[in-house]
Amino acid sequence: MRKRNIYSIISLWCVLFFCPTLHAERKGFAVVIDSISYQQAQHELAEYIRALESKQHFKVYTVVDRWGVPDSIRATLKGLHTRPHEAIIGAVFIGDIPIPMIRDAQHLCSAFKMSQKMPWQESSVPSDRYYDDFSLQFDFLKRDSTAPYYYYSLSARGSQQVHPDLFSGRIRPTDGDMPGSRYTKLKAYLQKATEAKLHPERMMSVFVYTGSGSLSESKTAHIDEMASMHAHFPSLAHRPNAYRYMDYSDEKLIKQKLMNALMVPDLSVAFMHHHGDYDTQYLSAWPKPSTAEEAREYLLHCYRSSLNRARHFGYDTDSIRRNLQSRNQLPDAWMAELDDSALAKDDSLERAMTNIVLSDFARYAFRPNCRVAFWDACYNGSWHRENCIANEYIFQPGKTICGLGGSVNVLQDKWPDRFAGLLEQGVMIGFLNQLNPDLEMHVVGDPTFAFLPEQDHSLNDLISSGKQKDWKRLLRHSPHPDIQALALHQLQESKDVSDQHLLEYLKTSPYESVRLEAFLLLQQRHSDDFVSAIENAADDNFELLQRFAVNALIKNGDPRLANTLAGKLCDVNTSARVAFNALQGAQFFSRQNLLPAVEDRLRQVTPYVVQPETYAKGVLKNAENYAGRWDEEIEKLCKGEMSHKRALTQINFMRIYCPPYLLPQVAGYAATLKDDELLLPLLEALGWHRQAYTSAQVVPVVEKLMKDTSHSEQVRQEALKTYKRLK
């Protein structure tokens, strides 16, 4: 109780003396709904709007979509956003609102890199950045013949970075197997969302789940994440059992245990880290064997799975069985079990206990109660499909209102809980996505959902209309780490914080979220201080910041950073994910720079390890195998010594696999190319390397190409996109 009182007094002191009193006019909010949903749920919608106006003080603009095309909706929202008074700061899309499918914009995604030669429904990115980011420009391509999809190409005319003007969310119920049920779901959901506004709650608890394969199953990463939850949500410290954690290895079959944890009535926020698809949460791998008999069953399960896959694709299973027996010397008794239908059924039943799928919500009466869910998994937030995991969470009778999820792949090495601590301060969930946007990330559900704040910081008003003096006061005086991080972020938006200030916060702040925010803001700048930032962050006590530093080191590639990378490669106790990333990063440094640095570091380390020669040999072998890995292939490409097909493949690799020290050579090759089929993807690949220390040498090349009228308009436009991406 004493700790709680001290925290409350400090926070109240900051509010009274350092937060401005805002007497601004009401902010606007747009409710965009299709005409049928509007008719079917008119009463529930009216109650929802009334709550928005009376409880959150919005001026609500109801936009009934009578056009059925994205262009008209975007134009309407832009007009409402630029009104001189009561302009909108956010929007929610309810029902069957047209779905923009974005192409030629994978650089705006965190991880999605599918070939656009694949079917358009799969290789395009469903994104409401079309509606909420007016700095982006698009060219219409076509309408889908079977789905409410409208395909657009990201244009070179607009920005090449995501910077939403509005926060937004999707409430899109579908029928599933019950025709017409979407409107029943919609009415029930609007009632639930309205109730949450009429009777808001304070945050009560936070839950974190980590699935198999998440972050290389790094224990350090998971420990640090739970520690960060205490920093994000200090007000929970006095509540019993407020910080909860579960790992897939806690039980052999974790599914029902996780379901039960998510149905706890007082659960406020849930972070779920695992692999996924639109219809599946992949919770755990096949249970690891702990006895000889379990090992035998595990092997037979793997072999049966191989045969089933072969059978599915029409391969000759008899020859595969013979190969399995001869290669693995399987006894005849084991071979008989490969075709045992009862065992195959057991496999299927046990496999079903390692995942949550759409049908499980009805089968188990699974009704999640986490008010806010973070689906840190690929495709779980695919709201554009006829059903998805995120939709099942919010449209169940449980208390889940909303969450953040990706419509396509999402990156593992991201900061999923960035600004999460603002939730306990009453900040709307939509702002969290707006402050940390990717093309694929969306609020699924009501973007205006907010918890009752611990203290009235008026942060929602500040985020939308705060002055720089307000943010400077909060940066200096707020005791809350996430508010300090937010203040840094907002000052960066106005260029009101210097590189040196950011570097100082990175080096000296006691708060992990502030240090990481300072690092990410420095990363956005073409600053020589960033090399120093990487060197400092690589040894930070916060694992996520270490991981981000190693990833940035790889993208930057400055030879001065070879010693830092060597230190990670030689460290005897680097966390699993950082070690994995560091080893992968060795391929982005030349042998001449990296190997001497590794040898020098080994001379410092080996006196303090057992079997020093064996240890040094293993580290050096790894470095030798990776360093300079792409030299030969890229040299062949630039000399024109590859077939056309092989050159295209190599160029596609180079979106990721192009060491910074080779970038000028590749740019020089691009300057000589006349083959558009190679030049277009090569220009696109060059744009992925903005953070490379050599990127400034690429800019003049693409600038010349975008002005060269001897090239096609398509080439000049791609060069313009790359120029904007690199600047």
Query: Rounded CA gap, 511 and 347, in Å?
Result: 47
Is residue 8 scored above 90 in pLDDT? no
Interval 86-104: pLDDT, tens: 999 999 999 999 999 999 9
Interval 361-396: pLDDT, tens: 999 999 999 999 999 999 999 999 999 999 999 999
Residue 179 — very low, low, confident or very high, per pLDDT cuts 50/70/90? Answer: confident
Separation of CA 544 from chain center: 14
Separation of CA 599 from chain center: 36
Considering the domain 200-284+355-445, what is its CATH architecture?
Answer: 3-Layer(aba) Sandwich (3.40)
Interval 571-598: pLDDT, tens: 999 999 999 999 999 999 999 999 999 9
Give the pLDDT of residue 456: 67
Interval 439-497: pLDDT, tens: 999 999 999 999 999 876 689 999 998 899 999 999 999 999 999 999 999 999 878 89
Indicate the SS3 state at residue 690.
coil
What is the percentage of the chain residues whose pLDDT exceeds 70?
A: 95
Q: Are strands 138-143 and 149-154 parallel, antiparallel or unpaired?
A: antiparallel
> When comparing pLDDT for 667 and 290, which is higher?
667
Contact 571, 602 (CB under 8 A): no
**Could you tell me the fold of the domain covering 462-626?**
Leucine-rich Repeat Variant (1.25.10)
Supply 438's token pair.
């990717």
Residue 14 — very low, low, confident or very high, per pLDDT cuts 50/70/90? Answer: very low
Give the pLDDT of residue 457: 64
Supply 266's token pair.
């007082």
Over residues 527-544, mean pLDDT: 96
Supply 175's token pair.
């029928």
Instruction: Determine how many CB atoms are found less than 10 A away from the CB of residue 180.
Output: 8
Q: What is the pTM of this model?
A: 0.92
CATH number of 27-196: 3.40.50.10390
CA distances from 14 to 230, 287, 345, 475 (A): 20, 51, 62, 11
Give the pLDDT of residue 15: 43
